[in-house]
Amino acid sequence: DAGVIQSPRHEVTEMGQEVTLRCKPISGHNSLFWYRQTMMRGLELLIYFNNNVPIDDSGMPEDRFSAKMPNASFSTLKIQPSEPRDSAVYFCASSLPSGSYEQYFGPGTRLTVT
């Protein structure tokens, strides 16, 4: 198995532009998570899905952020419009649908908004 796949690995964009991050979970995993990591705030859970349905999006910072999971093998995290304070590493992770199962993280997307 290739593991969790994220693209792009690096993204540099100007303030105000739309940014779309992509994630392909491990086949057979029903839960998908989006995280953000910064030096100041550490790792933060933004949103997670069970069976393609968003369960908890309380970690999404504001309306500029949105996430979708149109099918079991694909999810996107969109920021529109982007701001410099959105600069961070965004991780996607997947797991079997239970709080006790391991989460497998992707390599992350490093986003820089100038």
Partner 1 sequence: KNQVEQSPQSLIILEGKNCTLQCNYTVSPFSNLRWYKQDTGRGPVSLTIMTFSENTKSNGRYTATLDADTKQSSLHITASQLSDSASYICVVSPRSNYGQNFVFGPGTRLSVLP
Q: Which is nearer to partner 1, 3 or 16 (CB)?
A: 3
Amino acid at 2: A
Reported in sequence order, the residue ranges of the chain that DSSP labels E, i.e. its strands, are: 5-7, 10-13, 19-24, 31-38, 42-50, 53-56, 65-71, 74-79, 88-95, 104-105, 109-113
Interface contacts to partner 1, rule CB under 8 A? 4, 31, 33, 42-45, 48, 50, 55-56, 91, 93, 98-108
Q: Which is nearer to partner 1, 81 or 87 (CB)?
A: 87
Q: Which is nearer to partner 1, 15 or 55 (CB)?
A: 55
Instruction: Tell me the closest approach of the beta carbon of residue 112 to partner 1, in angstroms.
Output: 15
Query: Any idea which residue has 């999810």 for tokens?
Result: 75
Q: Which is nearer to partner 1, 65 or 91 (CB)?
A: 91
Decide if 8 contacts 111 (C-beta within 8 A).
no
> In the numeric block, which tokens belong to residue 21?
């991050």
Q: How many CB atoms lie within 10 A of CB 66?
A: 15
Instruction: Tell me the closest approach of the beta carbon of residue 84 to partner 1, in angstroms.
Output: 21
Instruction: Tell me the closest approach of the beta carbon of residue 106 to partner 1, in angstroms.
Output: 6
Instruction: Tell me the closest approach of the beta carbon of residue 43 to partner 1, in angstroms.
Output: 5
